[in-house]
Structure 1
Amino acid sequence: MGQRRTFGSVRKHRSGRWGADYTDPVTGQRVTPGRSFASKVEATRWLSEMQTDLDRGQALDATGTKRTFESYANTWLAGRTDLRPKTLDLYRYLLDAFILPRLGDVPVGKIDPSTIRRWHGRVSEGDQSVVTTAKAYRLLRQILSAAVDDLLLRANPCTLKGVAVERTQERQTPSIAEAMRLVDAVKPEYRLMAMLAAVVGLRRGECFGLRRRHLVEADGVWTVTVESAVVFVRNVPHLQPPKTSAGIRRLVVPAVVTPTIVDHLDSFGPFGDDDLLIVDRRTGQTPTLTVWRRVWENARKSVGVDYTFHDLRHLAGTLNATAGASIRESMARMGHSSPRAALRYQHLVDLRDAEVASSIDRLFD
């Protein structure tokens, strides 16, 4: 028989265990803990905790906690109007491929650390990269953090240690000779792009975002201004500002790039001030990602190397460090917002310095 209390009620079940419930003062709906208790004391303690939460304004949303994760995640993503198209597309992919198939039907209020451990264990068994798994976990943690803010959870259950960190294998940096061979091998309309990546350190999207007015010559010295970048969303290019303010920069271009600049302007001009410099000559537009990948694959196959276009940028970072640029100067040239990446290039130079020292030692053998 139920035992009435000032707040809520407790009752003993035929099994000998105890139940409890109360009426939400806002919604008028009956709220239960979703489990039974071994004793009346435990049931009463739960009611006391719920009453305290209500008094403090910290009570969970009684109806929202029963909402499926899929429903909540989709609503959360639809509300993220601050996301760039490429990020939005990535989040949609991660949700559909790795998160919703296993957690979509689970009520938000029932997701706990053990649920997350089981989910991560199963996802980790897939053939996707460790980096992709880390991205999926970070997205899940971000969504559940919002669920905490919305009073659907008391605490974020994503408590796994170290799994959100992307540990990418350090790639080899092309030598100057290899980079110049790639520049010569790529289609002529993209050679300036390759030189700007290998020597100046521009990203692929930054190269595609360059307009004629961004290249300026004064007294024989060229400068390039970066103020936009192209990102590819489902193969289609989109022009947008750099991710951070550090990406917006004006750089002096080393003289070794000058012949390539002049040749590009002479061969593919004339250009209006607002015309894009790097385009697919067949369409006059930025190439799709599929077209660009084919261009780059053909170039590296002809040279016999396996470098990505981004690896050319690593060479530029190493050249900065070799030339004696400080961490702050290297950050400015590469468009980094933190010293971490710039320190990586300094590390590569330090490794080379150790090789030089070792070679000197061998001369004394």
Structure 2
Amino acid sequence: MPAEQILTNARVVTAEREFIGTLVLRDGVFSDVEEGHSRVPQAVDMGGDYLMPGLIELHTDNLEKHMSPRPGVDWPSASAVLTHDAQIVAAGITTVFDALAIGDVNPRGKRMQQLPAMLDAIASAEAAGHTRAEHRLHLRCELCHPDTLSVFRDLVEHPLVQLVSVMDHSPGQRQFANEAKYREYYMGKYHLSPAEMEAFITEQVANSQAFSDRHRRAIVEDCHSRGLALASHDDATLAHVQESAGFGMSIAEFPTTLEAAKASHAAGLKVLMGAPNIVRGGSHSGNIAAAELARHGVLDILSSDYYPASLLQAALLLAGQDNGYDLPRAIATVSQVPAQAAGLNDRGEIRVGLRADLLQARVHEGQAVIRQVWRQAKRVF
């Protein structure tokens, strides 16, 4: 890697504005950000492409599909992590929080069995320098699972853990207030018979009543003692938001109603919604659309969730809608704001002194095409 790189003739997108300009990368950080073209011989012409900050992904379970690429198929975890990492960096994501689910609502699922292998594979690849994006861990705690608290306490001290979310996917509330949608989703996803579905619902409701409140309080207390960022999940009512704010959470993941999103935003929680929701034009669960929250000015963060390439595409779509989000504000939802919400104050925007995490992209017929990605000024894609 050269000691200094000069990238010129680019459409630079900072947290405040966009302009044709030049970036200088030195010692892994942005050492100069200026308008206009550079005339020095070593400057690299970007051909008018966008230069944007490397994307920050707070919540993706993309690794799971590589651990189990087909039903009944377990893939070697080291290979799965590297394949996942390649997809992540190709999407322009330079910092990713791999979401590891503690507590599996799938009666035939392998999440709990795969958890140690996934964590060890991520940590080993990071330590060996084999990953191109920087990987952190996000522990997603399914509160209604009997073993969630004990497994959480086994994992929370891992040095890569930096974000924890608490969720309850039992029927009749939050994401699945509409029980018909719950039945449709889980019968379709897990191929349950009607009798199996009835037993599944009965078990999930009973577990929620027995464990959710107790697990939520204990996990929140442990996170505060360790200084970990906390996220709520699927808040639907004002009471849910008041509880989350009272627990000192900084992120509201996937609020399901406009009321909950507005209240979360007003309480200082950063409202996170799925980028696929923007790309597809709505929620697959029948809840509030992310674009609707943007129209009310209460959408703060986008997450690719299950589809890494959706992150930049959704931000560009957001900037093109009638909602008050210009391009810098839309790109901030996938860079500056998630970085700040997770306590990563050294990255997330193009600014002198911050990490030179960067992507080069152009837009062709409405599709974002990522051409290069740098992490700390080193090209990784």
Provide the TM-score with structure 2 as the length reference.
0.24
Higher RCO structure, 1 or 2 (CA under 8 Å, sep 6+): 2
- Structure holding more strand per residue: 2
Q: Which has the higher helix share?
A: 1
* Greater C-alpha Rg: 1
**What TM-score does the superposition give when structure 1 sets the normalisation length?**
0.25
